[in-house]
């Protein structure tokens, strides 16, 4: 079923071939999800509408897709009934397929999703008292292979398309029942908005912390995030979206300029030796370069601080000295920063253990005492293996020896 022609990864440190990202549908219809309004208008024009009608219809359809979440053209009541079959013959309104949905005892939900060409990836929803965070994926697998991360052990990698990325949010809204209800006969029908307010929503925040390195799939991630922020559609605020990167330095400024969401950086270590081991990308872009890129990140301020993620690995990166060095680095680069301490979530064959609770508390205290916020992230959904970064289909378990071999191969590729 898959028509995967190999192409090279957009990340230039990464010589692994990536399967091509778009496999056309066999029925020839085009999935509208993930296409900008302008592109939808072009497709309508190519299919025979005059320019003005194409533009108007594209505007209406876009609103139905992203603001109302409809999955059937027949529900588009301000579009003439006679046009519904015209649309349905040429286009589809896609969603990633749900292979499996799980719910943890703490309310965390996890979905195993499948692309139309048969690749699996995951998404997690984490409800809290004051917010609901959806953790979404940017790639199937990841080419980077951080040593503590299970996603990095996956061999199959493919960039997700804008439709597959934004599709995760659409699917979450479907599952949570969060599309506005009621009539909509016209685009500016004020009545339609009644009974629906952004405040009451469960899904309030998006983090790109699922599978993949978002800055190695820059264009698709940018297009998808812009779509999520579009005021006519999902209308999520950039302040409620966070992009997490392992430190793809050359793409960070563009991320700030062209996307403008909050930045999280997976730092995890404060010395070259340890970070080279834990996050092999460090051999390409070192800590100093990374922190300089952080201090230049457009939009970072005391009101919008950069989050440094720091996974707590017993005996590797968790000493008081490490904590003091972390403080020193943040101060030296004058970074408006907070630190997020993440208890390591072990997986079969992982070469690390999580730091003891006392150690984590002490590490956090050292940073707090220096005036920098350093909360410890509470593990969520552990009974369903849902921790961010833990995303991997259990069907793909590998032996320790296989993992070591894969790791060695990727190290070699990094040079
Ligand atoms: N590739 C990006 C975004 C996805 S990883 C990045 O690396 O930032 C998102 C987060 O999941 C990272 O901060 C990573 O530290 C965390 N993570 C991965 N594996 C983990 C594990 N086993 N336990 C705890 N956190 C993990
Ligand atoms: Fe990839 Fe992020 Fe996992 Fe590293 S931590 S392997 S960059 S997903």
Q: Is-contact 313 147, C-beta < 8 A? A: no
The C-alpha angle 285, 286, 287, rounded to 5 degrees, equals: 130
Q: What's the whole-number average pLDDT of the chain?
A: 86
Query: Quick check: 297 pLDDT over 70?
Result: yes
- Please say if the pLDDT value at position 17 is more than 90: no
Q: Phi first, then psi: what are they for 71, rounded to 5°?
A: -120, 10
How many angstroms separate the CA atoms of 43 and 359, rounded? 58
Question: Of 122, 164, 213, 277, which one is the catalytic site residue?
Answer: 122
Task: Give the model's pLDDT for residue 194.
Answer: 37
Starting from the CA of residue 244, give the closest ligand.
1
pTM for the structure as a whole: 0.88
Portion of the chain with pLDDT greater than 70, in percent? 83
Distance CA 391, CA 370 (A): 34
Euclidean distance between CA atoms 256 and 200, whole angstroms: 29
In the residue annotation, 388 being an active-site residue is answered as: yes
Across the range 248-253, mean pLDDT stands at 96
Q: What's the pLDDT at 156?
A: 72
d(CA 295, CA 252) in angstroms, rounded, equals 11
- The residues lining ligand 2, judged by C-beta closer than 6 Å to any ligand atom, are 142, 144-146, 149, 151-152, 212-213, 246, 266, 389
**What phi and psi, each to the nearest 5 degrees, are found at residue 400?**
-55, -40
- At 64-87, the pLDDT tens digits run 999 999 999 999 999 999 999 999
Helix (H, G, I), strand (E, B) or coil at 366: helix
Mean pLDDT of 351-355: 96
Residues in the ligand 1 pocket, defined by CB under 6 Å: 142, 148-150, 209, 213, 244-246, 266, 309, 311, 342, 344-345, 347, 387-390
């Amino acid at each position: 079923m898959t028509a995967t022609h190999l192409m090279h990864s957009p990340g230039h440190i990464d010589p692994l071939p990536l399967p091509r990202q778009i496999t056309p549908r066999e029925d020839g219809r085009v999935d509208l999800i993930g296409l900008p309004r302008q592109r939808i208008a072009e497709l309508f024009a190519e299919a025979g509408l005059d320019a003005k009608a194409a533009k108007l219809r594209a505007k209406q359809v876009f609103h139905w897709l992203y603001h109302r979440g409809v999955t059937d053209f027949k529900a588009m009541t301000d579009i003439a009934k006679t046009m519904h079959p015209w649309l349905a013959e040429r286009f589809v309104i896609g969603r990633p397929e749900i292979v499996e949905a799980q719910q943890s005892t703490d309310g965390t939900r996890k979905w195993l999703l499948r692309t139309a060409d048969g690749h699996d990836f995951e998404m997690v929803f984490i409800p809290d008292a004051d917010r609901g965070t959806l953790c979404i994926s940017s790639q199937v697998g990841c080419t980077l292979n951080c040593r503590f991360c299970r996603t990095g052990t996956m061999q199959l990698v493919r960039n997700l398309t804008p439709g597959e990325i934004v599709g995760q949010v659409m699917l979450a809204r479907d599952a949570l029942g969060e599309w506005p209800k009621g009539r909509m006969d016209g685009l500016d029908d004020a009545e339609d908005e009644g009974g629906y307010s952004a405040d009451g929503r469960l899904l309030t925040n998006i983090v790109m912390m699922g599978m993949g390195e978002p800055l190695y799939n820059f264009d698709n991630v940018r297009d998808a995030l812009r779509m999520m922020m579009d005021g006519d559609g999902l209308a999520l605020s950039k302040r409620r979206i966070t992009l997490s990167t392992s430190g793809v330095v050359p793409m960070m400024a563009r991320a700030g300029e062209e996307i403008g969401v909050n930045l999280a950086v997976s730092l995890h270590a404060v010395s070259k030796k340890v970070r080279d081991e834990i996050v092999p990308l460090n051999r390409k872009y070192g800590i100093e370069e990374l922190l300089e890129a952080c201090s230049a990140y457009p939009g970072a301020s005391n009101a919008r601080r950069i989050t440094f993620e720091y996974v707590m690995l017993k005996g590797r990166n968790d000493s008081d000295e490490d904590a003091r060095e972390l403080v020193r680095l943040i101060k030296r680069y004058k970074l408006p920063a907070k630190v997020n301490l993440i208890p390591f979530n072990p997986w079969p064959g992982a070469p690390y253990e999580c730091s003891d609770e006392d150690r984590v508390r002490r590490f956090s205290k050292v940073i707090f005492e220096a005036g920098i916020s350093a909360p410890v992230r509470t593990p969520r959904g552990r009974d369903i293996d849902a921790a961010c970064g833990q995303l991997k289909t259990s069907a793909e378990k590998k032996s320790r020896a296989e993992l070591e071999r894969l790791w060695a191969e990727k190290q070699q590729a990094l040079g």
